Amino acid sequence: MHPPTQKRQPPSGWRERWAALSNIPPLLRMVWRTSPPLVLLSLLLRLCKAAIPVALLWVGKLIVDHVVALLGSGTGSPGEIYKLVALEFGLAIVSDWLGRGVALCDSLLGDRFANEISVRLMEHAARLDLVCFEDPEFHDKMERARRQTAGRLSMLSSLSALLQEGITLATLSAGLLLFSPWLLPLLILAVIPSFLGESHFAGMAYSLLYRWTPERRQLDYVRLLGASSQTAKEVKVFGLGHYLAERYRGLSDRFFHENRQLALRRASVGGLLNVLGTGGYYAAYLWIIRGTLAGQYSVGDLTFLAGSFARSRMLIEELFRRVNDVSEQALYLQDLYEFFAMRPRLEAPPRDRSWLPAPRPIRQGFEFRNVGFAYPGSGRVALKEVSFRLEPGQRIALIGENGAGKTTLVKLLAGLYEPTSGEILLDGHPLSDYDPVELRREIGVIFQDFVRYDLKVWENIGFGRIENLEDRARIEEAAQKSLAGEVISKLPGGLEAMLGRRFDGGSDLSAGQWQKIALARAYMRDAQLLILDEPTASLDARAEYEVFQRFAHLTGGKMAVLISHRFSTVRMADHILVLAGGELAESGSHEQLLRMDGRYAELFRLQAAGYQ
């Protein structure tokens, strides 16, 4: 059994934030693997662009000194000034081109990285156990990881800009230190208070988003309920529109008010702390002006120092902001990697063992030995001490009231869950000893809540055996077996018809027609065990009769498990299991169970009375 995911407390201090920086190297490795040429080109362009600002300031200083010399003493020539202006113009053009090149590389790299992360998320989620998806904390973790897919693009830009701005600051700092060694330290000290304040509030903002993950999932769900084709009919018939809108408004207002309080505090405290940085800048600026008036610096020196100082101040603030941003983003990376760190219960066995290949053909069948199961986090036991055999060529039916454990038993049989007690054997070996991927290829399942894919008909059916998705002959054969062929023949485009209303040109089907498509998906698998969970719930009496006549013919010689509330369907089974409260109450053939005059006979008479 996969244990419920542990709820991680949101980090609240610098220790957690600096520790989260260890997530950056794996991220950089992922980015590098995405596209090494783009990464190298982006770094090269940024290195070149980083040297442009100090070059522009120095050329500007030379222009001012030449102009002052020409006006004051007549030395120099206008031609030298024009050359310097042309050089400055060229540097400005190159800077613009480099900036556009950096933006292009970052855009392309960001898109490719987002696609790669999205694919990894989907692939990893597909490997996790089904029981994970029934844990609310798992959904919170997956939601935070999903949101990080797009959010990490800004982090990539921040890391790249951090490198570029750091190089630019180093070149400007060299100029400042050349004129006065104490200017740069003064600037750094003046900016630190604002940096610490922003860091504190950034951590609080992350904690707020972390705590609100369940509520934000509720917001997404309520928005979906209020505006989707699947819910539109009931929303209108039951008049749910106003209620859903108000529920959304209530949740969103609560989040807005809490976020507003934090934003107001952040703005007010940040404004006060920024006064220190601004004061330090202007104190140094006055000192530079005073030195120029005293003849210590030339007018060109004044423009260079003032420009370098102003630019350095902005860069230091920007660097601190980016360091703060990167440390904050590293916290979000923790969510992403925690999701990737989750492992399925059915991991590959140790090296000294190997999974057994799924038997083909199955010779002894399945055996439940005192199987019990309880959903994680739930105090209710779904199955208790259930024992029975399913032999090759045998058809069994599961009957019982809602909540009796029928669907849970089927999920255990299909290897989607592991028992919490007892064991399930296949040909004498525990089910967990078999390769789960191979095993599921031998089992075809259609659940009562089967998926209606808003895709083309051939995809809806072909998904039953994905490795044969392009095999049109097999798809058509599966459609004929499930009686979906008549439905498909009436659709514009046949197998190429788009189903559902989500996309242009889509055709919506009735519940019964969708069910035939789902049955075709099960037949497409050509599995040794076919499991149908209420397969005819949406069919009329004639269609139900035809489907089960076909089912009886197609499952000849194969194992089949049928869940149904209709006794006309159940009678075709070789053996019937009656579940009650998660326990196996009765078992036998239809005639044997009637003679026992127990729960099955009672339910049979109640249903038969409805047809008299």
CA distances from 414 to 89, 403, 407, 581 (A): 71, 19, 11, 21
> Do 219 and 150 meet the contact criterion of CB atoms below 8 Å apart?
no
Output the pLDDT for position 132: 66
Mind listing the pLDDT tens digit for each residue in 519-553? 888 888 878 888 887 766 556 666 666 666 667 67
Range of the domain at 492: 451-526
Are 332 and 194 members of one domain?
A: yes
> Which are the contacts of 289, defined by CB distance < 8 A and separation ≥ 6?
302
Are 65 and 204 members of one domain?
A: yes
Is residue 413 included in any domain, yes or no? no
Is residue 81 included in any domain, yes or no? yes
Of the residues 468, 496, 526, the one at which a domain ends: 526
Is residue 522 included in any domain, yes or no? yes
| pLDDT band, residue 370 (cuts 50/70/90) | very high
Output the pLDDT for position 268: 76
> Which are the contacts of 133, defined by CB distance < 8 A and separation ≥ 6?
139
Residue 602 has pLDDT above 80, yes or no: yes
Residue 10 has pLDDT above 60, yes or no: no
Question: Which of the pair, 270 or 536, is modelled with greater confidence?
Answer: 270
Mind listing the pLDDT tens digit for each residue in 170-219? 777 776 666 666 666 766 676 677 666 666 666 677 666 667 667 777 77
- Bond prior to 3 in cis (omega within 30° of 0): no
Of the residues 341, 356, 380, the one at which a domain ends: 341
Of the residues 495, 526, 557, the one at which a domain ends: 526
H/E element holding 211? Answer: helix 183-211
Best CA proximity match to 219, nearest among 248, 182, 185: 248
**For residue 152, what is the domain's CATH number?**
1.20.1560.10
Mind listing the pLDDT tens digit for each residue in 292-340? 777 777 777 777 777 777 777 777 767 777 777 777 677 667 777 777 7
Is residue 353 included in any domain, yes or no? no
What secondary structure, in 3-state letters, does 362-376 show? CCCCEEEEEEEEECC
Question: Which of the pair, 446 or 270, is modelled with greater confidence?
Answer: 446
Mean pLDDT of 480-505: 85
Cβ neighbours of 166 (radius 10 Å) = 14
State the total domains in the chain: 2
Is residue 137 included in any domain, yes or no? yes
Which residue pairs, CB below 8 angstroms and at least 24 apart, start in 77-84?
84/59
Is residue 595 included in any domain, yes or no? no
Mean pLDDT of 397-406: 85
Distance of CA 149 to the CA centre of its chain: 7
Is residue 132 included in any domain, yes or no? yes
Mind listing the pLDDT tens digit for each residue in 540-588? 666 666 666 667 677 777 888 888 777 777 877 889 999 988 889 989 9
| pLDDT band, residue 436 (cuts 50/70/90) | confident
Are 313 and 461 members of one domain?
A: no
Query: Among the ranges 106-120, 203-217, 486-500, which has the highest mean pLDDT value?
Result: 486-500
Best CA proximity match to 5, nearest among 348, 335, 372: 335
The chain-wide mean pLDDT, for the chain, equals 77
Token pair of 58 as six digits: 């120095």
Could you give the CA distance from residue 71 to residue 217 in angstroms, rounded to a whole number? 70
What secondary structure, in 3-state letters, does 545-565 show? HHHHHHHHHHCCCCEEEEECC
Are 460 and 335 members of one domain?
A: no
Residue 11 has pLDDT above 60, yes or no: no
Output the pLDDT for position 81: 82
Is residue 579 included in any domain, yes or no? no
pTM of the model: 0.61
